[in-house]
Amino acid sequence: MKITSSKNIKTTVNTETLALINTVLDDELKKVSKPSRKLSDNNFEASYICATFSSIVRKDKSLFKIEENYNSNGYLVTCETDYKPSIFFWIFFAIELLLIVIGLFTDNMQSSTTDFTTGIGLIVGLYFYNKYLVENTIRNILDNVANKFE
C-alpha cells in the first residue's frame, strides 16, 4: 500500500534555506523514527515511523524528498511510504485461521470460532490503526517543517 503526502514551503530559494530545511526535516524524523538516514543531499529515508508494540504487524519505509517547486517561490517536501503487513502479521493471521478451522470441528464450535474470528479482527484492526498513525505522523512532520518557515 502506498501512502503519499506533500507540503509546499513558501520561502526564498537559496542554498542556505535548503540546508536549513534539510536540518529541520532530519530533526523531525529523528523524533519519530529511530532508523532514519540521509540518502543524498535532499533525500531522507525513515523506517518504522511512530513505532509501538503493536507495530509488529506492519512494515513501513518512507522516502522524503525536498525539491524546488515549479513557481520557484519555495520548496516542495514530498513523502512516499511503502506500508505493508510484516511477517508477524501473516504468522498471527495464519494461526488464527488454523484455530478457526480447528474450532469448527470441536464440541464447543460456536464459542471458539467466535473468539478466534475476534482475534483476526483485532490483528487486521491493529494493522489499519497503525496505518492511520503513520499517515498522521507523516502529515505532522511535514506541517512542522513548513511551520518553521512561515
Mean pLDDT of the chain: 87
The three three-digit cell numbers of residue 93, written as one number = 493471521
Decide if 121 contacts 92 (C-beta within 8 A).
Answer: no
Query: Model confidence at 95, in pLDDT bands (50, 70, 90)?
Result: confident
In three-state secondary structure terms, 102 is: helix
Residue-level pLDDT at 137: 94
SS3 51: coil
- Distance between CA atoms of 55 and 44, rounded to whole angstroms? 21
Beta bridge partners of 85: 58
Domain containing 127 — which CATH number? 3.30.310
Range of the domain at 54: 2-147
Q: What pLDDT digit, counting tens, does each position of 51-93 carry?
A: 888 888 999 999 999 999 877 788 999 999 999 999 999 998 8
pLDDT digits (tens, 9 = 90+) for 28-57: 999 998 777 877 888 999 998 988 888 889
How many structural domains compose the chain? 1
Length of the chain: 150
Beta bridge partners of 62: 46, 81
